Amino acid sequence: MIATLLTSQTRTLRNGMRVVVHEDRTSPVVAVHLMYHVGSRHERPGRTGLAHLLEHLLFEGTEHAPKGTFDDLLERVGGSNNGSTWLDRTCYHETVPTHAVELALWLERDRMAFFLPALNETILNTQRSVVINERLEAYENRPYGLADERLHQMLFPPEHPYSWPTIGYTRDLEAITLADTRSFYQRYYVPSNAVLVLAGDLAADPAFALAERFFGDLPSARPPAQASTADPGFPAERRDSMSDEVSFPRVYRAYAVPAYGTPEWVALDVLAYVLADGESSRLQRALVREGRLAQDVDSYLYPTERAAVFGIVATARSGVSPEMLEAALDAVLVEVLEKGVDSAELAGAVRRAQRDQIAELATVESRAEELAYATLVLGSAGALAEMLELYTAVTPEGVRRVLGEYLVAKRSVTLIVVPAERQRAQHAA
Amino acid sequence: MPPELLPRPRLGPPPPPRAPRPERWTLSNGLRVLAAPRAGLPQVVLRLVIPAGSSADPAEFPGTASLVGSLLTEGTRSRQADAFSTQIDRLGACIGAHVGHDLAAVEMVLLADTLAPGLELLADAMVYPAFRAGETERVRAETLDGILARADEPANVADDRAAEEIFGPVHPYGQPVWGSAEAVTAVSAEVLRQFHQVHYRPEGSFLVASGEFDPGELARILKREFAGWHGTASRPAVPVPDSLPRAAGRRVSLAWGDATQAEIRVAGVGLARKSPDWIPAAVANYILGGSTITSRLGANLREEKGWTYGIHSSFADGFQPAGWGVETSVDIEVADDALDEIHRELLRVTQELVRPEELRRAKDALILSLPRAFETPGGVASRLATLEVHALPQDYWERLPARIEAVSADDVQQIAAEHFAPERLVSVVVGHTGEGA
């Protein structure tokens, strides 16, 4: 059902850059997606946040498209553009009306080949300030905003690169130098470390010709080594609590589990739907609807490369202690482990997963991103459709097996966020 | 050898947007239907829009409309809540109500092979909700906890306070749709039932379907499933708000513990969605604050000063003039400077004509981005619903480029004078104790 939405062709340019083309003529729109195999995982302690800060710098102008030009040119042609950085990858993307695809490629070429001459201390300092504000806005000044950061510190040993947040620590952001950004860029922003996806209203042959024209002459460089990461090991049932300016306690439970794309990961994803997606799911029913202990409960599974994170988050209702909530959560896991799931329940969970996959593939922009990520992390664009096919093969026994193997105490960390005594907003003037 | 500079590409003519013209018909009970089928993505998005927003709340029970919306999917006369949610989940569907000030919208997303059972459940929820005591009490308690939790986030506090400052304590646009804790605690199941009885009626409501389906099949299923639904829903009379906030020109500061950022809103009264000024206003807003990187506010406060991660301005759409406002959060140390700088930009756009190239850029951005608006079934459903809600012409999207093209620099200045002038706006700062002028 979904595989047909993802048909693509891949070629590799002489410099090692992989190019994926996905044709869909439904709307007169093309997505250009350039994903580099570099993320916060490639940073070192003391320089956390470097990958993401560099992404910001790459929006501040290149030699032939000076500061302000990038967004200006793209908006004038009706395009949108953005970038994002995560643990394993950094991406830059433009979605444009069909006539403007060459402009997007020209700009990305400048970003890959002509960035360093435009980089200077002023740009670095301004964007350092923007990123520190992003950290304040998205994490520090938001209820429960620092919980995920703490959870990763607990889940991974300090030398493991998933132990620090992509946004970086403020002290590290303050320490990053121009030389740090230059060398990071030179090492990772090379054609052989990138995947270009063209998706939408264009045919394969002209698309490959465009890729060759705009990127084929860029010098090749050896792809950076993807350092092996330490096994996350077993966090051995670590627990912690932190206080925050919130009204209700929240329980965070997380487990280190097999990486994105593995059959175990797919079964765990289905388990996440069984547990907490939909009003009839196990945790919704036990914690929210019948138990009336939680206001909300969610489960998630990160699609990360070296290990994945399976998380469960529940917010207590008034008068409910986090201990009660955690005990109820554990009771559900035990029940599923002991009694399993029935086949109708499983089929519903798979269909809900497919519903979300289809929704995520609704735009050529998100399809391009998924294909680029599969190429980098799973080895080919086609591996994405193959992985999505695995969902239909998941069995009740398979779900129970991954629950019993991975969602176990010795792999778990638990973080309780408790309300701090605080001063409420007051009208002052 | 270093790579050579390639000339910047010369682009051909842009593709025309493909705005779908939906098939339209009316069921015998008066429910209007807009159907925009498109094969490709095996998904159907259904949106049922009912004139049952918070402006229809009984005066003594603000929050009624919102509670009714939440309870639609919590059990029907023939299905216990658990049976209803199990059936939704087994289809792989999702359903939820979004209650706004003017309207309520129930949205359902289905896999394409479940249209008939999906619509059967949608109709059951719309026509026969049960409001049983157990579910009502649970949703009431969740709503009360939600009201408390909302106040934990300074951004929410800033939004809610700005709305209250603009529209005052009486107009529905000044009040949160979820109501007050007192009213949510006090409202009886009978009031909720009564609200549903009066407002959830087919005549006056409409359904949009977008995605992969056969319109003939849709028509047959709708006729069958909504056969037992009758009556007329009248659109609640939303009063015209005052055009000036009472505290216009003033600043309201709210302290916030040890906040590291200040949430800033500079807001006033905007335009009704059906206003002929809506399009010049969109152009004017784009120039001032529609894009966080290239608009004047973003270019200044983010790109030049580095004071914020983002700053935007926007008009809210409503039957009556809803809000217009600037929103941002900045490092607490620069809150005063940021507010001054926002006011400087507001004055500038009010006092000086925008430059021709700035106007050109805004028009191009708005016109040429239209193809993207119709890319997904959800996007199509939203845009069709907008036309139907505000009784805009059927060729609205086709004529939009020409109407944007016709906007002049004088039009922009006039909009700016009417909506962006600092003396017409209230500034709300959360997380800062500075005395305001």
Contact at CB, A1 and B18, closer than 8 angstroms: no
Mark whether B113 and B42 lie in a shared domain. Answer: yes
Three-state SS across chain A?
A: CCHHHHCCEEEECCCCCEEEEEECCCCCEEEEEEEECCCHHHCCCCCCCHHHHHHHHCCCCCCCCCCCHHHHHHHHCCCEEEEEECCCCEEEEEEEEHHHHHHHHHHHHHHHHCCHHHCCHHHHHHHHHHHHHHHHHHHHCCCCCCHHHHHHHHHCCCCCHHHCCCCCCHHHHHHCCHHHHHHHHHHHCCHHHEEEEEEECCCHHHHHHHHHHHHCCCCCCCCCCCCCCCCCCCCCCEEEEEEECCCCCEEEEEEEECCCCCHHHHHHHHHHHHHHCCCCCHHHHHHHHCCCCEEEEEEEECCCCCCEEEEEEEEECCCCCHHHHHHHHHHHHHHHHHHCCCHHHHHHHHHHHHHHHHHHCCCHHHHHHHHHHHHHHHCCCHHHHHHHHHHHHCCHHHHHHHHHHHCCHHHEEEEEEEECCCCCCEECC
Q: Which of B94, B294, B430 sits opposite A75 (nearest CB)?
A: B294
Residue B196 lies in a domain: yes
B95 touches chain A (CB under 8 A): no
Residue B3 lies in a domain: no
Mark whether A186 and A107 lie in a shared domain. Answer: yes
Q: pLDDT grade, residue B433 (50/70/90)?
A: low
Residue A229 lies in a domain: no
Chain B residue with minimal CA distance to A102? Answer: B9
Q: Give the residue from B208, B225, B242 where a domain finishes.
A: B225
The first and second tokens of residue B437, run together, are: 């002028």
Contact at CB, A217 and B3, closer than 8 angstroms: yes
Contact at CB, A351 and B92, closer than 8 angstroms: yes
Mark whether B175 and B297 lie in a shared domain. Answer: no
B41 touches chain A (CB under 8 A): yes
Q: What is the DSSP letter of B10?
A: P
Q: Give the residue from A165, A181, A215 where a domain finishes.
A: A215
Mark whether B257 and B219 lie in a shared domain. Answer: no
Contact at CB, A133 and B329, closer than 8 angstroms: yes
Residue B435 lies in a domain: no
Residue A344 lies in a domain: yes
Chain B residue with minimal CA distance to A126? Answer: B306
Mark whether B82 and B220 lie in a shared domain. Answer: yes
Mark whether A15 and A96 lie in a shared domain. Answer: yes
Whole-number Å distance between alpha carbons of B11 and A214: 15
Residue A310 lies in a domain: yes
Split into its structural domains, chain B has a count of 2
Give the range of the structural domain holding residue A14, as residue numbers without chain letter.
Answer: 3-215
Contact at CB, A76 and B153, closer than 8 angstroms: no
Mark whether A261 and A362 lie in a shared domain. Answer: yes
Chain A residue with minimal CA distance to B362? Answer: A76
Contact at CB, B261 and A133, closer than 8 angstroms: yes
Mark whether A182 and A267 lie in a shared domain. Answer: no
Contact at CB, A425 and B85, closer than 8 angstroms: no
Q: Which of A102, A317, A348 sits opposite B145 (nearest CB)?
A: A317
Q: Which of A137, A219, A292 sits opposite B138 (nearest CB)?
A: A292
A418 touches chain B (CB under 8 A): no
Contact at CB, B303 and A68, closer than 8 angstroms: yes
C-alpha distances (whole Å) from B155 to each of A136, B97, B268, B318, B429 are 12, 23, 17, 22, 10
Residue B231 lies in a domain: no
A170 touches chain B (CB under 8 A): no
Mark whether B129 and B44 lie in a shared domain. Answer: yes
Chain A closest-CA separation from residue B41 CA (Å): 7
A219 touches chain B (CB under 8 A): yes
Please give the average per-residue pLDDT across B101-120, as a whole number: 98
ipTM of the complex in this document: 0.93
Give the CB-side neighbour count of residue B225, counting CA atoms within 13 A.
Answer: 19
A150 touches chain B (CB under 8 A): no
What CATH number has the domain bearing residue A30?
3.30.830.10
For B:266-285, CB contacts with A below 8 A are: none
Chain A closest-CA separation from residue B242 CA (Å): 23
pLDDT in tens, B286-301: 999 999 889 999 999 9
In chain A, residues with a C-beta closer than 8 Å to the C-beta of B111 are 351, 354-355, 358
A340 touches chain B (CB under 8 A): no
Mark whether B189 and B286 lie in a shared domain. Answer: no
Split into its structural domains, chain A has a count of 2
In chain A, residues with a C-beta closer than 8 Å to the C-beta of B151 are 247, 424-425
Give the CB-side neighbour count of residue B317, counting CA atoms within 13 A.
Answer: 16
Mark whether B207 and B260 lie in a shared domain. Answer: no
Mark whether A12 and A101 lie in a shared domain. Answer: yes
Is residue B56 within 8 Å of B100, Cβ to Cβ? no
What CATH number has the domain bearing residue B350?
3.30.830.10
Give the CB-side neighbour count of residue B23, counting CA atoms within 13 A.
Answer: 14
The first and second tokens of residue A232, run together, are: 């996350």
For B:318-357, CB contacts with A below 8 A are: 329-331
Mark whether A198 and A325 lie in a shared domain. Answer: no
Please give the average per-residue pLDDT across B241-259, as a whole number: 92
Mark whether A344 and A313 lie in a shared domain. Answer: yes
Chain A residue with minimal CA distance to B252? Answer: A429
Mark whether A95 and A173 lie in a shared domain. Answer: yes
A205 touches chain B (CB under 8 A): no
pLDDT in tens, B181-238: 999 999 999 999 999 999 999 999 999 999 999 999 999 999 999 999 999 988 888 9
B208: three-class secondary structure by DSSP: strand
Q: Which of A103, A245, A426 sits opposite B9 (nearest CB)?
A: A103
The predicted model scores a pTM of 0.94
Mark whether B348 and B259 lie in a shared domain. Answer: yes
Mark whether A41 and A168 lie in a shared domain. Answer: yes
For the cut 90, the answer to whether the pLDDT of residue B258 exceeds it is no
Mark whether B216 and B71 lie in a shared domain. Answer: yes
Chain B residue with minimal CA distance to A218? Answer: B3
Q: Which of B17, B89, B368 sits opposite A77 (nearest CB)?
A: B368
Chain A residue with minimal CA distance to B14? Answer: A99
Contact at CB, A362 and B431, closer than 8 angstroms: no
For B:153-172, CB contacts with A below 8 A are: 153-155, 157
Contact at CB, B3 and A218, closer than 8 angstroms: yes
Q: pLDDT grade, residue B434 (50/70/90)?
A: low
Residue B4 lies in a domain: no
Chain A closest-CA separation from residue B340 CA (Å): 17
For B:224-243, CB contacts with A below 8 A are: none
Q: Give the residue from B191, B225, B259 where a domain finishes.
A: B225
Mark whether B57 and B177 lie in a shared domain. Answer: yes
Mark whether A184 and A44 lie in a shared domain. Answer: yes
Give the range of the structural domain holding residue B298, as residue numbers without chain letter.
Answer: 251-430
H or E element: which one contains B314? Answer: strand B308-315
Mark whether A171 and A274 lie in a shared domain. Answer: no
Contact at CB, B14 and A24, closer than 8 angstroms: no
Residue A225 lies in a domain: no
Please give the average per-residue pLDDT across B261-268, as a whole number: 96
Residue A102 lies in a domain: yes
For the cut 80, the answer to whether the pLDDT of residue B47 exceeds it is yes
C-alpha distances (whole Å) from B348 to each of A282, B288, B297 are 57, 10, 11
Q: Which of B15, B89, B153 sits opposite A279 (nearest CB)?
A: B89
Q: What pLDDT, on a 0 to 100 scale, did the predictor assign at position B1?
A: 66
In chain B, residues with a C-beta closer than 8 Å to the C-beta of A279 are 73, 81, 85, 88-89
Chain A closest-CA separation from residue B309 CA (Å): 5
- CA A162, A166, A170, A174 dihedral sign is positive
Chain A residue with minimal CA distance to B263? Answer: A137
Contact at CB, B310 and A279, closer than 8 angstroms: no
In chain A, residues with a C-beta closer than 8 Å to the C-beta of B371 are 27-29, 78, 97
Mark whether B216 and B256 lie in a shared domain. Answer: no
For the cut 80, the answer to whether the pLDDT of residue B164 exceeds it is yes
Q: What pLDDT, on a 0 to 100 scale, did the predictor assign at position B352?
A: 97
Residue B39 lies in a domain: yes
Residue B1 lies in a domain: no
Ordered per-residue pLDDT tens for chain A, 429 residues: 687 789 999 999 999 999 999 999 999 999 999 999 999 999 999 999 999 999 999 999 999 999 888 899 999 999 999 999 999 999 999 999 999 999 999 999 999 999 999 999 999 999 999 999 899 989 988 899 999 999 999 999 998 999 999 999 999 999 999 999 999 999 999 999 999 999 999 999 999 999 999 999 999 988 888 877 766 777 778 999 999 989 999 999 999 999 999 999 999 999 999 999 999 999 999 999 999 999 999 999 999 999 999 999 999 999 999 999 999 999 999 999 999 999 999 999 999 999 999 999 999 999 999 999 999 999 999 999 999 999 999 999 999 999 999 999 999 999 999 999 754 444 333
Please give the average per-residue pLDDT across B93-113, as a whole number: 98
Mark whether B261 and B354 lie in a shared domain. Answer: yes
Is residue A132 within 8 Å of B333, Cβ to Cβ? no
Contact at CB, B92 and A355, closer than 8 angstroms: yes
Please give the average per-residue pLDDT across B261-265, as a whole number: 95
